[in-house]
Amino acid sequence: MPKKCCVVGFPVGHSLSPAMHNAAFKHLGLDFVYEACEVDPRNFVDFMDRVIDGEFHGVSVTVPFKQTVMDYVNVLSPCAKSIDAVNTLFFDGKTLVGENTDWFGIYMILKELVRFKRRRILIYGAGGAARSALYAAKDLDLDIFLTNRTKSKGEKLAKDFDVKYCDPINLPEVDVFVNATSIGLSGQNFLPVSEKWLRRVESVFDMVYTGTILEQTAKKIGCKVISGKKMLLYQGAKQFEIWTGEAAPIRVMEKAIGL
């Protein structure tokens, strides 16, 4: 019987994780299989029963379960605890561990973007994705601004991470813009900031990798655009290493997601 891994989310039909991980398993000749589990939030408890019963060797956790899932794990890794979000599950013996590899995916991207002193960054969002981005940006010691549709949530998060909060309709000039909202993920797809403001931004990193209006507009006006697929790749490579104990075949995974 192959060891089974999966991604759990709602929706999850768009996910490239099965193609990416299955290509990597195959390349290394590992007896693993990875599938997508679309789970209605009302049935998440039942899904977690299956996880706790040991049906899966490893689980990728995506929207909207990255925080909910924390109630079900036995142990949180130190960074999952600091970020307050989990995107990876694995067993250490019988202990179900909640880990966060998202921040590492973001860290790898930001590190490259700010190599030449472009250090002012605006993160849009206040969910788990934004928390991971804040953790990575703090680690790189960037000049960080945060904005969000719901002001109270944004302000609280900015306070938690000790960064500056700003109103979405009065944004400061920055070098890097990170979309950590779910805009463009399921149906709703629009530009979260004005095109005029975006024109002054050098690099745009959209965590949503479905070809958003933001990504299209940023390309059109000449920003450097980093696809959310890059983040998928780096966070997935870390997961692969956790689950298999093998070095991730990055080039194979990259190709499998069309990068």
What is the CB-side half-sphere exposure of residue 185 using CA atoms within 13 A? 18
Q: Retrieve residue 41's tokens.
A: 């939030």
253 is an interface residue for ligand ATR by CB under 6 A: no
Q: Which of 9, 98, 105, 125 binds ligand ATR (CB under 6 A)?
A: 125
Which of 22/186 has CB closer to ligand ATR?
A: 186
Please choose, from the candidates 173, 178, 231, the residue with its C-alpha nearest in 3D space to the C-alpha of residue 206. 178
* Closest residue by beta carbon to ligand ATR: 127
Which of 133/253 has CB closer to ligand ATR?
A: 133
Q: How far is the CB of 176 from ligand ATR (least distance, A)?
A: 18
Annotated active-site residue 66? The verdict is yes
Q: Retrieve residue 254's tokens.
A: 């990259």
Binding mask 131-170 for ligand ATR (x = CB under 6 A): -----------------xxx--x-----------------
Q: Retrieve residue 13's tokens.
A: 């039909």
Q: How far is the CB of 204 from ligand ATR (least distance, A)?
A: 16
Query: By CB under 6 A, what part of segment 21-80 binds ligand ATR?
Result: 63-64, 66
The DSSP annotation for 148-203 comes to -SSHHHHHHHHHHHT-EE--TTSPPP-SEEEE-S-TTTSS----SS-HHHHTT-SE
Q: Retrieve residue 259's tokens.
A: 């990068």
Which of 127/228 has CB closer to ligand ATR?
A: 127
CA distance 242 to 107: 18
Q: What is the largest CA-CA distance in the chain?
A: 56
Which of 193/248 has CB closer to ligand ATR?
A: 193
Q: Retrieve residue 151's tokens.
A: 């002001």
Active site amino acids: 66
Footprint of ligand ATR (CB under 6 A): 63-64, 66, 125-130, 148-150, 153, 181-183, 188, 192
